A and B are shown apart, each in its own frame.
Chain A
């Protein structure tokens, strides 16, 4: 789960929102 690295380099849309969402999930797991 989650450690693959695709070889293509593409533009990531809305990176701020995506990282924020992951941070929210991490915070819910008790990780600051």
Chain B
């Protein structure tokens, strides 16, 4: 995503991270245009002006425009699943990494199967460092150099597998 809109992952975190959910973000029109274009290329109807709307109206517009998408066709079951879906947040330090699990969607390949989409976002965290040796305090940037992602099963009846086209870097 970050590559598609010509931003660094850290910048994406600054603009779209959970920390901006309350305050909002001021985003350049060119960036908004690239975002809309990227999603349109992926088959998602999206217009820049919708991003300026309140979320409820934004959700209505995107849902209406993408009504033929598979997720909408199975929306009733997904809504039922989402009703029992609890979002929890654990971020330390802020902006370094975020993992969000989206509400599960019913699968159509195997009976009683569900898709659980996840968004994993790597960014850059700013940490105020106060040296004990008398040096001036400074802000240091913390970022990951390597990350290992593993998907496993607990072996107690739950089976997981990565869906087709399941990774995008």
| A residues in contact (CB < 8 Å) with B | 1-32
Contacts and interface: CB of A to CB of B under 8 A. Distances in A.
Contact of B47 (A1, A25, A29, A30): A1
Contacts of A5: 29-30, 32-33, 48
B162 to A, nearest CB: 9
Contacts of B21: 14-17
The 3 closest A-B pairs by CB, nearest first: A28-B71, A5-B33, A29-B43
Contacts of B35: 19, 22
Contacts of A1: 40, 45, 47
Contacts of A14: 21, 24, 54-55
Interface of B: 1, 15-18, 20-21, 24-30, 32-33, 35-37, 39-40, 42-49, 51-52, 54-55, 58-59, 62, 66, 69-72, 100, 102, 105, 115, 117, 119, 163-168
Contacts of A4: 33, 36, 47-49
Contact of A18 (B58, B66, B69): B58
Contact of B44 (A10, A18, A25): A25
Given A9-B28, A15-B20, A28-B70, A22 B39 contact: yes
B88 to A, nearest CB: 15
A29 B43 CA distance: 7
A17 B117 CA distance: 15
A15 B49 CA distance: 13
Nearest to B65: A1
Given A6-B48, A8-B29, A29-B69, A16 B37 contact: no
